[in-house]
Structure 1
Amino acid sequence: MNVLVFDTSTNNFSLSIIKDKKIVLNLSKNINKTYSKFLIPILKLSLKKSNLDIKEINYILTSLGPGSFTGIRIGIAVAKGIGITSKAKILGYSNMDVLANAINIDLKGKKIVTVIKSKNKDYYFQIFNHKKTAINKISTFSIDSLPRIFFHKNLIFSGDLDIKLINKLKNKKTIFYKKKPNAYILSNLFEKSNMLKMTKVLNPIYVYNHYAKKN
Structure 2
Amino acid sequence: MKVLGIDTSTESLGIAIAEDGKLLIGCDKIFGLRHSQDLIPTIKELLKSVSLTIDNIDGFAVAIGPGSFTGLRVGVTTAKALAIVKNKPVVGVPTLDVIAHNAYYYPGTICPIIDAKKGMLYAALYERKAKGLVRKSKYLLLTVEELLKKINKHTLFIGNGIIFYGKIIEKIKKEKAVLAPKRLWLPRSENVAMLGWEELKKGKTDNSFDIIPLYLHSRECNIGK
Bin for the TM-score computed over the shorter chain: 0.7 to 0.9
Mean CA deviation greater in 114-123 or 86-95: 114-123
Give 3-state SS (helix, strand or coil) of 2:74's partner: helix
Task: From 103, 113, 116, give the equivalent of 2:114.
Answer: 116
TM-score, normalised via structure 1 length? 0.79
Which structure 2 residue ranges, 5 or more long, are not aligned?
Answer: none
Give % identity: 25
Deviations 1:16-56 (A, max 9, x none): 12246542322111123532222112111211112111111
Aligned mates of 1:162, 1:137 — CA distance in 2: 18
Q: Could you list the per-position Cα deviations for residues 133-163 of structure 1 after superposition, in whole angstroms to 9, with x for gaps in the alignment?
A: 2323321326xx5644276342221222535
Distance in structure 2 (CA, Å) of the matches to 1:13 and 1:120: 24
SS of equivalent to 1:112: strand
Q: What TM-score do you get using the length of structure 2 for normalisation?
A: 0.76
Closer/same/farther in 2, CA of residues 117 and 57 from structure 1, 3 Å limit: same
The answer as to whether partners of 2:13 and 2:30 remain within 8 angstroms in 1 is yes
Give 3-state SS (helix, strand or coil) of 1:5's partner.
strand
In 2, distance between residues paired with 1:138 and 1:209?
13
Query: Is the Cα contact below 8 Å between 1:79 and 1:90 reproduced in 2?
Result: yes
Q: Out of 189, 206, 213, which is 1:183 matched to? A: 189
State the AA in 2 paired with 1:94.
Answer: P
**Partner Cα separation in structure 1 for residue 148 and residue 155 of structure 2:** 12
Contact 1:151–1:169, Cα closer than 8 Å, also in 2: no
- Confirm whether residue 203 of structure 1 aligns to residue 225 of structure 2: no
Which whole-Å CA distance do the structure 2 matches of 1:212 and 1:86 have between them? 30
Structure showing greater relative contact order (alpha-carbon pairs closer than 8 Å, 6 or more residues apart): 2
Segments of 5+ residues of structure 1 without an aligned counterpart are none
Distance 2:221 2:9 in 1: 20
Change (3 A) 1:134 1:204: farther
8 Å contact from structure 1 (residues 55, 87) kept in 2: no
Q: For the Cα contact (< 8 Å) 1:125–1:139, is it kept in 2? A: yes
Greater per-residue helix proportion: 2
86-95 vs 171-180, which deviates more? 171-180
Verify: 1:168 aligned to 2:174, yes or no: no
- After TM superposition, list the pairs within 5 Å mapping 1:1-215 onto structure 2: 1-19=1-19, 21-32=21-32, 34-102=34-102, 103-107=104-108, 111-119=109-117, 122-129=120-127, 131=129, 132-141=134-143, 147-149=147-149, 152-162=152-162, 165-170=165-170, 171-178=174-181, 179=184, 180-189=186-195, 193=198, 200-201=206-207, 202-208=211-217, 211=220, 214=223
Aligned Cα root-mean-square deviation (Å): 3.2
Which segment drifts farther, 63-72 or 159-168? 159-168
Q: Count residues with an aligned counterpart.
A: 209
Matched to 1:104, the amino acid is: Y
